[in-house]
Amino acid sequence: MAVPTFTPAYPPTESNDKPELKLLKAEFGDGYTQVAGDGMNHIRKVVDLSWEVLTPAQAKEIEAFFVARGGYEPFYYTLSDDDAPILWTCEEWSRKRGTPNTMEATLRQCFTLV
C-alpha cells in the first residue's frame, strides 16, 4: 500500500511546533537525578496547523483527508520550512463551520516502518 501525501490546496496560515520528549528518569533521595532518552526516537515532532478563511469545500477537503486516515494511518507532509517530507499521523482535528470555515489539526511524527 502506498503512503499518501497530504498536499492541501490551501496552505496552513499558522503552525506551532512543540516536540514531545520521552525520557527515562530516576530520582534519588539525595536530590540526584539520572535522565536518559527512552529509545532512539525519543524526540517526536508535534505540529499544530491552522487554516483560516477557508471555503466550505476547502475545509471539507482537508477534513476528508484526515477522516480517511482514521487517526492511525501515516501520511507524508512537508512543513513549509523543511526540505523533505516527514511521516505523520493526525488523531486530532477540528473544523469550525461558518463564514469563513476554519480548520485546526495536530500532526505527530510517526516512526512506523512503511
Please give the span between the terminal C-alpha atoms of the chain, in angstroms, as a whole number. 9
pLDDT at 98: 87
pLDDT at 30: 87
Residue-by-residue pLDDT tens, the chain, 114 positions: 699 999 998 899 988 999 999 999 999 988 899 999 999 999 999 999 999 999 999 999 999 999 999 999 999 999 988 899 999 999 999 999 988 999 999 999 999 987
pLDDT at 34: 95
| SS3 letters across 28-72 | CCCCCEEEEECCCCCEECEEEEEEEEECHHHHHHHHHHHHHHCCC
pLDDT at 35: 95
pLDDT at 29: 87
What the block records as the C-alpha cell of 54 is: 477557508
Omega of the bond leading into 56 within 30 degrees of 0 (cis): no
Q: What is the pTM of this model?
A: 0.88
Cα of 76 vs its chain's centroid, Å: 10
Question: What own/partner pairs with CB < 8 Å and gap ≥ 24 does 77-81 have?
Answer: 77/5, 77/6, 77/7, 77/107, 79/15, 79/47, 80/11, 80/12, 80/15
